[in-house]
Amino acid sequence: MDRLQDESKAVAQIAIRAGAPRLIVNGVERFPLLAWSWDLPAAVRYFKQAGLQILHPILGLNEGWLRPGCYEWQSIESVFAQLLENHSEAYFLPRVLFDVPLWWKERYPQELVQTALPVQPYRPVRRNPHGGWLWGIQSSEPSLGSDRYLAEMQLLFGSFLQFIENSSLANRVIGYQLGGGIYGEWHYSLSAFLPDFNPALAEKIGPAPDLQARTQSTFGLLRDPQHEQEVIDYYWRFHDYTADVLLSFARQAKEVTGRRVLCGAFYGYQLENVWMQEGGHLAPEKILSSADIDFIASPYSYQTTNLTDRQWWEHDVVDGAGNALGRARGIAGDGGYRVLLESLRRHGKLYFAELDASTFIEPPPVNPDGSGAQDVDREFCMIGGDGCTEVDGSLKIVERDLAQVLAKGAGGWLFDFGPVLRSGKSWYSDPRLIELVRAFQQWGESRSAMQLDSVAEIAAVYDAKTFAATRHWRADMPFTKGGENLDYFMRWFMDSQARALHRIGAPVDFLYHFDLQSKDLKRHKLWLMVNLFYLQDEQVKRLHRLAENSGITVVWYYAPALLRPDRIDLERMQALTGFHFQVLDEPGSMLIQTTITASDWKGQMVFGVDEQRWPRFAVQDNDADIWGVWQDNGLAAFACKTVQGYHSVYLGSAPLPAHVLRWLAVRSGAQLWSSEPDLVMASRDVVATVAESPGRRTISLPYDLYHVRSTATDREFTFAAEYGQVDLFVRKL
């Protein structure tokens, strides 16, 4: 690494420019497309050919922790040296994992997580090729309440940071992704078994509720604050504390490096967050408001199919009435982001999507009991099976992933599991894939001249803390397929609803309710308030003020503002929505039969969830237009009325299929950008569409853009598309 001696330390920052967070390295904007491989030193040559300059090695810090107080970093230094040998121009944004060595766990058993349920290891642990643990869930992990763990991990991390700062590697290391908990994704360790009863944590945040209190709710799908506030408050403290631990490591990295580096983490999975009450990310405001966090990352959608006749690696999702909602991954899958991207943008945080779909280089997946499974575990088979084994399909999936990064003003990294799976080869070793990635790298380099602010007229709005007040995820185990670690609302209101939201045929903002602003009313026509069940009075008043006299359409899902800190408050829910309700406190089907007779409606349908749940709510309002009724009793469950200068819609169940969402969008005055329920990903100067079906469609843009495929500039394009075809529209520079 002598060649680096004459360089200065790299300085990186995230700056808001032209409507989006931008990655700035040594004063120059760079397209934030990174790369990792299970055999990164060997695969780096393919990424270099594709024009990628930033690598994302994953480093287990426990690799350098030989014994108490003794650290050595030569093995990690050799990884960097090997990467530079193969790519001399490379910069690095490594992921560092805060794991402890096995000897530490054996020496300090009193410092480990204690769980309400017996721990049953269920995923094999795999060794990180660059040192330390990387994959799987171990049967014992340190408690975040342990002062010893926190103090000694600060020493370990500090030693590593100082090593980098005192070496020429500081000239190329531009930041750190901080990894704690399961997979380094800040899911609390052993979440599946309900942590953490360690006395050290109890001293910091109070005693954990017992198993029954955590897994049982007294008001059906919801917790009654009058009887369960202790549980609700505990979960809020639990997640605030976890966020504080993450931020303490970010603060340390900033201080040791003189704030020259970026810091970020996996966090903020509002969609598809597993073990939500224990492993979720329920303190987003704390992370988003921190000056020590520059970027947020997540894998994109993993939602698996719930169709019983499909293989376990497939991703088509239907609702309880059999309506197709969409495909998460694969050809024409949405690859939807699990974070709320518009909120990240508003807080100046760059988002990195982990792009981990397999390519045609990987052989077809195998069933776990198949003769070809060998030693490849089920989870690795899933990763190897959610792409496409055909060349054309693989190119379409990679093109979609890169187009989404480009169009949404985001970043990402290619996540290459190929060398550890059955192929034994890098997923990006084919010239056709290399050329495709290179083309998007070149588009990305021109993105610095593009305006990347949101142009969506539709917003999906969420609340994280509500999950502390909803039925526990374990209360619904086991789902028959595709949702073993999910609660009812995550499965149906979040994940499954997202599949249809991506298929409205128009761009959608995803954000937290606290990030809604009055200026949004100049652009947004439709707000979908998905899970705003538990709100403070001031939050309710703020939503009133925003909606009043706005003229927009607001769709209130299920039980908006019903739960307040001290009790269930139906009057507050009625005041917020403008409807009068009857509470149905006996279990009933969550299916809704539409009764819409409007000229632009295509006929009656049933949607929702075919499960017996309570409470449900029935609209009792003579002034309301009734659009749907509970299928089992005929009481109103989907209704609209004009209140206080806006159009209020109540929706008793979810998910809404794309057909209904498109109808609502048109009624609200929002423009549909595609004549079909296609994926539309957009910022002001970049738009990407993905064809959800083969055939002709018309793409109608709000302004003139250059269509890369047709080489024409216009605002309306009619063409025939293949299934999964990606079309890119850009402001011609």
Task: Dump pLDDT digits (tens) for 666-681.
Answer: 999 999 999 999 999 9
CA dihedral sign of residues 265, 270, 272, 274? positive
Strands (E), 38-139: 54-55, 58-60, 65-67, 70-71, 91-92, 95-97, 126-127, 133-135
Q: What is the DSSP letter of 495?
A: I
Task: Dump pLDDT digits (tens) for 192-211.
Answer: 999 999 999 999 999 999 99
Higher pLDDT, 6 or 319: 319
Q: How many CB atoms lie within 10 A of CB 434?
A: 18
Task: Dump pLDDT digits (tens) for 409-438.
Answer: 999 999 999 998 888 999 999 999 999 999
Task: Dump pLDDT digits (tens) for 106-160.
Answer: 999 999 999 999 988 656 666 666 666 555 567 899 999 999 999 999 999 999 9
Q: Is domain 679-730 annotated with CATH 1.20.950?
A: no
- The average pLDDT across 302-330 equals 91
- Domain range 2-299+347-360, CATH class: alpha beta
pLDDT value at residue 506: 98
Residue 383 has pLDDT above 80, yes or no: no
H-run or E-run covering 458 = strand 458-462
Task: Dump pLDDT digits (tens) for 394-403.
Answer: 999 999 999 9
Lowest mean pLDDT among 238-242, 296-300, 379-383: 379-383
CA distance 176 to 10: 13
Residue 331 has pLDDT above 70, yes or no: yes
State what percent of residues in the chain have pLDDT above 70. Answer: 94
Three-state secondary structure string covering 292-329: CCCEEEEECCCCCCCCCCCCCCCCEEECCCCCEEEECC
pLDDT value at residue 378: 53
Task: Dump pLDDT digits (tens) for 230-256.
Answer: 999 999 999 999 999 999 999 999 999
Higher pLDDT, 595 or 309: 595
| CB-CB contact of 335 with 502 (8 Å) | no
Parse the chain into domains and list their residue ranges.
2-299+347-360, 458-668, 679-730
Domain 458-668: CATH architecture, name and number where available: 3-Layer(aba) Sandwich (3.40)
At residue 690 the predicted structure's pLDDT band, cuts being 50, 70 and 90, is very high
H-run or E-run covering 714 = strand 712-721
pLDDT value at residue 376: 47
Lowest mean pLDDT among 126-140, 175-189, 461-475, 699-713: 126-140
pTM: 0.96
